[in-house]
Structure 1
Amino acid sequence: MRIGIIDYRREPPRSVNDLFEAARKRGVEAVYLKLPLIDALIDDGKVFIKQRDEPVNIDGAVLRGIGLVMSLDVFEKRLGVLEALASMIPVINNPFNALIAKDKWRSLVRLALHGLPVPDTMITENPFSAMKYAQSKRKIVYKPLTGSLGLGSALIEDPDLAFQTARSLMNIGVPSYLQKYLEKPGYDYRVFVVGGRVIGAMRRVSRNSWKTNIAQGAQGVPVKEEEAPEIFATAVKASTILGLDYAGVDIAEDVSTGKYYILEVNAFPYWEGLRASTGVNPPDHIIEHLVEKIKK
């Protein structure tokens, strides 16, 4: 069995190397596929995938990312190549579903339409709308629409600052993604789902910041299902609705209401923090799940 690990970087990042190691332990041959170098062709009515003129001959693939800053044409090319590949072999996560999850707004809309709890959220290009939203919610969080690790997120309590932020973004062609601030109890949850089941979960505890991302200094504390059954069940539902084979689901409690809300679902999750706090190695489970899909 031969699989591909797909990413866009010049050299395989740590997460890709982790997947290589997991494949090696499983006795599976793995190759690195660099997305900018992958071409798709239609020849005599058949579709072919190549990398540097060499046919891509694999039985399945793990998708780890498609790129950060790119033109619309490059984005469409990469998505088109990935969808062509996914029509031939199992690709996890499915590229179309992964890109919906990567878009915070589209993923929350889908979850909300299926009845799952998500925070009050707005997306706008209008600075006046942003200002009025900040006035109505009193405290909001600006987040990059497709960002991760908590980078670029900002807490806004002043409606004038919301206006200025949205206007500055509008001037460079970027919409404002604004979310009602949840008063957390000093932590939230990261739940890792593979193949429709939770393989590990942790509380991300922060003492010095409203951000609870591990990358922002929070500490991970392992959580078992009997401690938070609602969290586990909600994470599985969210990943299923978004059609993801593996996902990192972020869930927070609002202490003012006592309710849990899905903050986002990450289709290209990092796992170093979860692995360090729980001892669970997600790459092992991801490769095992891909192998099972290939066998079917």
Structure 2
Amino acid sequence: MTICMRKSNVRLLVLVTFYLLYLVMGALIFSAIEGPQERILVKELQDKRSLFLKQHECLTDEELEKFIAAIVQATNRGISAVRNVTISEPNWSFGQSMFFAGTVILTIGYGRVSPLSEAGKAFCIVYAMIGIPLTLILFSAVVERLMIPTTMFLKFMFRKLGHLYKVFHIQLLHLFIIITLILLFIYLIPAAIFYALEPNWSYFDAFYYCFVSLTTIGLGDYIPGDSPDQQQRPVYKVATTLYLIIGLLMMMLLLAVVYEIPELNIGFHFFMRSDHDEERAHLQPSTHESGLKYSKQIDEDTPATSEYQGVPGFQRTATYQQEAESAEIH
């Protein structure tokens, strides 16, 4: 048992090492790509500042510094200084507030708009403590029901293709179809809509916003409806909130579909319970006349109509086999 436990610990140590190296690699690449752009922007701002002071000799550098600091502080609190700040719609109108509430309980958290008062911060804590678990419960229940038509479609594919292809190949085709539909209706089409509605966004910016939001990264560098000229801003914000909810549901559905394919469930090999399966596999008699093998060693030549037993994360029902055999007969 100790030896088996060491195997999972070694795999975990390798994973931790790779994870740290991945972080370091990401830091180096981001620094190499973004560093020169930052230096160019700093140089441009320094030149503009010097030119502004030359054109307005009555203004001292210290006064300009205080003014810029006030502008930056207001921007960080979600108040734009573009044009007249009194023209833009308040950040805490109903539409804006609903958008903020959605980003809190969906754990996106853009950070562009945040509570200003102590009472607002305290309520945000309580609201998130209740809303985040509630969101997880709701999403889990909805995804469970969405898996019903998804599984029915997989059964249909088994009936039509089960006598021709292996189980794993059919599951991969099913996953590819799901990914294609999500990419089209959750990323590409919404990105085109954002591109049409946002005056300063390119299509890539819009697609980038969709990806960063639906992966709950939420950098906050792009937020829909922040343009001063945005028409029907409250309605736009509410519609965006609904989009985020639907998009995150689809992402959870995609993860559920991936989890149903045992060959893609790589994380299982790093769990402690994987050691027990390996131990049971070693205890199997090697000369057994039925040729029993470890359940995770799937024969590449086995057709999709065979039964896979004991594979973690994969529940193969007798219905699949019966339907595939029936399709073969007809």
TM range (shorter): under 0.3
- Between Structure 1 and Structure 2, the one with more strand by share is 1
Higher RCO by CA contacts (8 Å cutoff, separation 6 or greater):
2
Q: Which is richer in helix?
A: 2
State TM-score, norm by structure 2: 0.22
TM-score (norm 1): 0.24
